[in-house]
Structure 1
Amino acid sequence: MALTTAFTKLFGVRHPIALAPMGGSAGGALTAAVSRGGGLGLLGSGDGERGWLARELAIVTENTTNPWGIGFLTWQIDVAAVEHALEHQPRAVMLSFGDPSPFAERIRRTGTPLVIQVTDLEEARRAVDLGADVIVAQGSESGGHGARHGRSTLPFVPVVVDLAAPVPVLAAGGIADGRGVAAALALGAAGALIGTRFQATTEALVAPSTSRAIVQGHGADTERNRILDIARGSSWPSKYTARTLGHPFLDQWRGRETELATDPHARHAYQVALSQGDIPALPVWAGEAVDLINDLPSATDLVNSLATQAEEALARAGKDT
């Protein structure tokens, strides 16, 4: 059976699967590969840096004619970054983490579908009021950044689905195989936005050591924290923490965020350890479903296998037991 939803109809894609626009790893090759597989690839533009965006956009457009889009970190961009991206006629623009209101109308005026990611009900209500065409409900199981006091995907998604109706909702957080996609659909979502699983693919812009860490990682070893943002000197708003695999600085500074933030020697020690190769160049962002990841396929093949698994899971659920 074909998994046709409001999301697949809106974007003209085969499968209700979208790539999370992960800054630094969702580059042009990964975006194009997901789109070729029948999902919606979303380029992880982050702050909209023009050099990076120009390079990766060229890769996208050279490698797929299927629908694709661009995602931004809302707290980190300005209107100029959005306007520059719109010149390339993406099929969607996604805004995450921060106030989308300065950019929403500018995007909507071009007829480009607006996707807004939300981490709580206040953000969900604002997304509805701003006229989002798609809302992503991100649960706390997700890898990378999310709400410090977020809610789990299972209870959060259906609440957002009910609040946002008839706007289609994508579920995000803790989804790494087709069973998770099927569960998202069963919750009333129109599809799934997937991050960590796509980091472990041949097209992801990550170091080989990161791919290996994800394949070997366990959900019980992930932890949501601000420690690594503070140590790195990152400007992420304190509302958002990041789920990562284990890290030496987590063990050293767990429960001592305020002390770390005021200790320049500790932050210098992080940079020294980084320069000496004692710690990875970037934290390994990973969600709780990392246990389900045990290979490094092409993202194009992965999209199709996720869709097939989801169809099979829904078929099983529909049989008498």
Structure 2
Amino acid sequence: MGLSTRFTRMFGVQHPIVLAPMGGSAGGALAAAVSRGGGLGLLGSGDGDPAWLDRELPVLAGCGRPWGVGLLTWAIDVNAVHRVLEHGARTVMLSFGDPAPFAGAVKAAGARLITQVTDLDEAKRALDAGADVLVAQGTEAGGHGAGKGRSTLPFVPVVVDLAGDVPVLAAGGIADGRGVAAVLALGAAGALLGTRFQATAEALVDPVITAAILAGRGDDTERSRRLDVARGSAWPDRYTARTLGHPYLASGSTDRGQYQRDVASGVIPPLPVWAGEGVDLIGGLAAAEDLVGELVAGALAALDRAGRHQ
């Protein structure tokens, strides 16, 4: 059972399901499980920290299936790209910033370049830089994204039309097989999922985070920069983050000192609960390898129902 698309054929994977390279939680075990399940596992390396790579990549590199590493473009220099390539990455995903300064290193190594985009200007720059795949991220996505971006449903087909022969993955609010089917119908060659894979046995998240995601609802999520300011995070101003409700969102406070004291005393969790609008659709904790197949089975069933209703 599989869904063959331009993406699956390009990467030699069975299913058009990709793990979002979520910093801190998409570690080697989670990425490896997604790859073993027939999707593409991407390690969430963030700024390419050498200690993180040394710890997590050996777990992933031994999975025997295609895999890759995701980096935050605004937070790295070209040395970070070289590090992941030296560790054997044959796919590099760049997000949130201009990929052009790093694309040459990826291409010179013969690796595939995936670039996440949040608007059409970013999509054009990514294509000019030679991206092999675009990820069209809608504002429903959990974690960071464009503060003034577009919703997944109208954004994906516009990027598909712009990209031509370059495959497009859809991201944002996709948490079950019906969402995968929907974006395939929009012309995407696959789906990149983050929040759904947070609620898996392999994700590197505190049980408190997992419990919050399982109890969360899309109506509870909010996109804001307030928590980044309060945490003293260096994220660029243009990128806000969608999280579940948080006391500092309710109060409007951005007092960094008080935030640190509240974390230290346990009044608030160490990290915000990054979650997309599809969080309602997460029915329980899953094994990531099995989840890939479940998503595809759900997509095939949804596509079959749609065909029979025409």
Give the aligned residue type for 2:300: E
CA offsets, 1:58-78, max 9 Å, x none? 11123x100000000000011
Separation of aligned partners in 1, 2:222 and 2:292: 27
For residues 131-280 of structure 1, what are the structure 2 equivalents within 5 Å? 131-253=130-252, 260=254, 266-280=255-269
> What's the secondary structure of 2:308's corresponding residue?
coil
The equivalent residue for 2:285 is 296
SS of the residue corresponding to residue 183 of structure 1 reads: helix
Equivalent residue letter for 1:9:
R
Partner SS for 1:170? strand
Cα deviation for residue 320 of structure 1 reads 3.4
The 4+ residue runs of structure 1 with deviation greater than 6 A are none
Q: Counterparts of 1:140 and 1:203 in 2: how far apart (Å)?
A: 26
Q: Is the 8 A contact 1:34 1:303 kept in 2?
A: yes
Q: In structure 1, what is the Cα distance between the partners aligned to 2:109 and 2:24?
A: 27
Mapping for residues 64-143 of structure 1, pairs under 5 Å: 64-143=63-142
Counterpart CA distance in 2 for 1:100 and 1:292 is: 33
Aligned length: 310
For 2:272, the equivalent position in structure 1 comes to 283
**Is residue 317 from structure 1 mapped to residue 306 from structure 2 by the alignment?**
yes
* CA-CA distance at 1:111 after TM superposition: 1.1
CA deviations 1:236-293 (Å, max 9, x no partner) are 0000000000000001117xxxxx4xxxxx2111000000000001000000000001
Q: Specify the alignment match of 1:263 in structure 2.
A: none
Query: Structure 1: how far apart are the matches of 2:290 and 2:2?
Result: 17
Residues in 2 aligned to 1:77 and 1:272: alpha-carbon distance in whole angstroms: 29
2:25 is the counterpart of 1:25: yes
Matches within 5 A, 1:3-82: 3-62=3-62, 64-82=63-81
CA distance in 1, matches of 2:89, 2:218: 34
Q: Deviations over 1:100-158 (max 9, x none)?
A: 11101110111101000000000000111111000000000000000000100000000
Tell me, yes or no, if the aligned pair for 1:11 and 1:91 is still in contact at 8 Å. Answer: no
**CA-CA distance at 1:178 after TM superposition:** 0.4
Structure 2 segments unaligned to the other structure (5+ residues): none
Q: Deviations over 1:170-228 (max 9, x none)?
A: 00000000000000100000000000000000000000010000000000000000000
Preserved contact between residue 45 and residue 53 of structure 1 (Cα < 8 Å): yes
The residue type equivalent to 1:105 in the other structure is G
Q: TM-score, normalised by structure 1?
A: 0.95
What TM-score, normalized to structure 2?
0.99
User: Equivalent residue of 1:211, what SS?
Assistant: helix
In structure 1, the residue corresponding to 2:70 is in which secondary structure?
strand
Please report how far the alpha carbon of residue 2 of structure 1 lies from its aligned counterpart in structure 2 after TM superposition: 3.2
Encode CA deviations 1:69-106: one digit per residue, 9 max, x unaligned.
00000000111111011012213100000111110111
Cα separation, 1, equivalents of 2:79 and 2:147: 29
Task: Give SS of 2:202's match.
Answer: coil
Contact conserved, 2:35 with 2:41, CA < 8 A, in 1? yes
Q: What CA RMSD, in Å, does the superposition of the two structures yield over aligned residues?
A: 0.9
SS of aligned partner of 1:318? helix
